[in-house]
Chain A
Amino acid sequence: MTAAAAPRLPAILGTIRPRPRGRETRLLLLVGLTILVGSVSLELAGRVTDPGESAGLSPANPTHLAIYLGLIALAHVALILSGRRVDQILLPATAMLGGISLLLMERLPQSQVVQTVGPWKLGLGDIQLAWLVLSFGLATVLAITVRNDRWLRLYKYTWAAAGVALLLATYLLGDDINGQRLSLSLGPISGQPAELLKVILVVFLAGYLSEYRPLLVEESTKVGPISLPPVPFLAPMAAMWAIALGLVVVQRDLGAALLFFTVFLFLLYAATGRLGYVVLGVLLFLAGSWVMYHLVHTVQTRVDIWLDPFASPTGDGYQIVQALYAFARGGLLGTGLGAGLPTVGGRLPIPAVHTDFPLAALGEELGMVGVMAILGLFLVVVERGLRIAASAADEFRALLAAGLALVIGTQALIIVAGNLKLIPLTGITLPFVSYGGSSLLVNGIIVGLLLALSDRGVEPPPPPRQPSRFARLTGRVTRPETPAAARAPLPPAAPLQPGGTEG
């Protein structure tokens, strides 16, 4: 074969130069081993309990595990072949979370979710496996193909508009489930657009904050002893606040509202390093919460349940009370995978355990030790994200990476704290663990983008943008009024003179 006949890849992939990823290989082997032992544990638990009790327990399906682990191995090989120097810890950490999720979904009663696709009748485990496969597939494709960030950076307002459109579409065309209008059906496919909105929000905030950071840092308006941001820049904070409140009032989506606002404050602090903004944001949040508590019935119910779930242990407080019992039964080491109570008689003591309370089920079966390990995995994901942010080439990429990681971390924090009755319960998913297609896909996108951003060999950031309206508004930064001036080889209007020695 001559050199000219050597296989050529599409331009987007560049030439193949495989690069070994030893650390990732070792960690993934450990993931595979752990998940296999977990499935054995699940299998044995099925034999231990007497047949009457384990009616609802479905044994782990070895084919499912093989498919899942095979896919992770495939993703690993693809990353090696791509030759990109991307992070080696993110994939094993999330693969472990996904594996635990698969074990849990295999183990819960399959009748929780049943969908018929063609000739097949799919249960909870089947569907979760399908979404996990799609999610990690998407992450790998993004990690390999995303070579520049222009499509995110330059169109931040377009992305923001798309996000708002998505929200409006959900409101106008969405389906009501449990009094919340969150999902949008498009033919046979239905999804929760609010999930995608998380990513769009981070992209927009990263673009906005990186552009105006110097001004946000420098300027301030004094109100008494507190120094506030300059008035024009208060607008985005007010807008975020309004969107969060709007989500609560219109969609009854407390979880998303809390998540969005928290991530916004995190990013604002990350970009400016000013505590004043955070204090202001928290005050706004408290004021908003107080108003919402008195205005919106859902909020009031949630808070009342949180304050005293035992006031109606069989009514409103049932879910959280059962979750607390599950944690208590788990104790330190847990009852063992598959030996918990969530399946007694095929009936679920905790409603919606597969979406809102996976941690309670895991807490029962793996105990506090297991829950700590799962929290540790989320911590690892966040650490990697922040590390990628710290090593990014410019503001936009740093804020994007930090924001994406913080979305996962904050979401886990909110739902875990909700499950443990540390804060009022809000119905959002535990990233990578909960059942749910939209959530898994979006988490896949987040991991894919983080991996792509972690590669230092990506294209250098594009040159800064033309002067912005806000910058000119404040008059602090003078930039050329016409793009032509910036394109000229030597901007000064006056002819250049040799500098000489006079200085």
Chain B
Amino acid sequence: MDPFLVTVWVVRLLFLGLLYLFLFRIARALVGDLRAAAREPGAELGRLVVVASPGGEPVEGSSLPLDAIATIGRDVNNAIVVDDQFVSAEHAILTFRGRAWYAEDLGSTNGTFVNGAPVEGVVPLGFGDVVQVGQVKLRLERPRPPTRR
């Protein structure tokens, strides 16, 4: 066996081996990310970011994870309690049906608005849309993914 030829083949196989080592390291990192995602309890379907809240409750800038059905109002039994004098006790409801979010006004005194337009009946919501109840503005955002860091 020519020792030089053996060296050549060792180097060649080393190159392929390193390629796979690289892929393996990446795969491990990806699996780690996925595990972290799986550990997160109850995947949320979206979240509301508080854009404006003169009353201070909810706190401006905070973000609230949403379940499939989220009621908004001044009553403490709502999923999202809004302390604003222009908001009714049971003001509006956001529902996730199948593939998209929908907003519905629950007969509130001052109405619910999506991007400034009054809500009549059930209105589909896109991520990024702003829902307004009373003086409080809430922006619907995509669910936040769990991160490792």
What residues of chain A have their CB less than 8 Å away from a CB belonging to chain B?
23, 26-27, 30-31, 33-34, 37-38, 40-41, 44-45, 47-48, 85, 88-89, 92-93, 96, 210-211, 213-215, 217-218, 272-273, 333-334, 336-337, 366-367, 369-370, 373, 376-377, 380, 383, 387, 390-396, 398, 456, 460-461, 463-464, 467, 476-480, 485-486, 490-492, 496-503
Contacts and interface: CB of A to CB of B under 8 A. Distances in A.
Contacts of B139: 460, 463
A337 B8 CA distance: 10
A350 B4 CA distance: 30
A89 B113 contact: no
B68 interface: no
Contacts of B114: 479
Interface in B50-86: 73-74, 84-86
Given A26-B25, A213-B126, A500 B88 contact: yes
B47 to A, nearest CB: 10
Contact of A336 (B12, B84, B109): B12
Contacts of A390: 145
Interface string B127-149: 11110101100010110110101
A182 B22 CA distance: 36
B15 A38 contact: yes
Nearest to B47: A393
A45 B100 CA distance: 58
B53 to A, nearest CB: 13
A395 B126 contact: yes
Contacts of A463: 115, 128, 130, 139
A323 B139 CA distance: 55
A373 B26 contact: no
Q: DSSP class of B's interface residues: helix, strand, loop or mixed? A: mixed
B110 A395 contact: no
Contact of B11 (A37, A85, A456, A477): A37
26 contacts: A23-B29, A34-B19, A37-B18, A41-B11, A44-B11, A47-B4, A48-B8, A89-B26, A217-B100, A218-B100, A272-B99, A333-B12, A333-B13, A337-B15, A369-B16, A392-B142, A393-B141, A393-B142, A464-B130, A467-B117, A479-B115, A479-B116, A479-B117, A480-B117, A491-B132, A499-B87
B45 interface: no
Interface string B86-112: 111111000000011000001111110
A503 B89 contact: yes
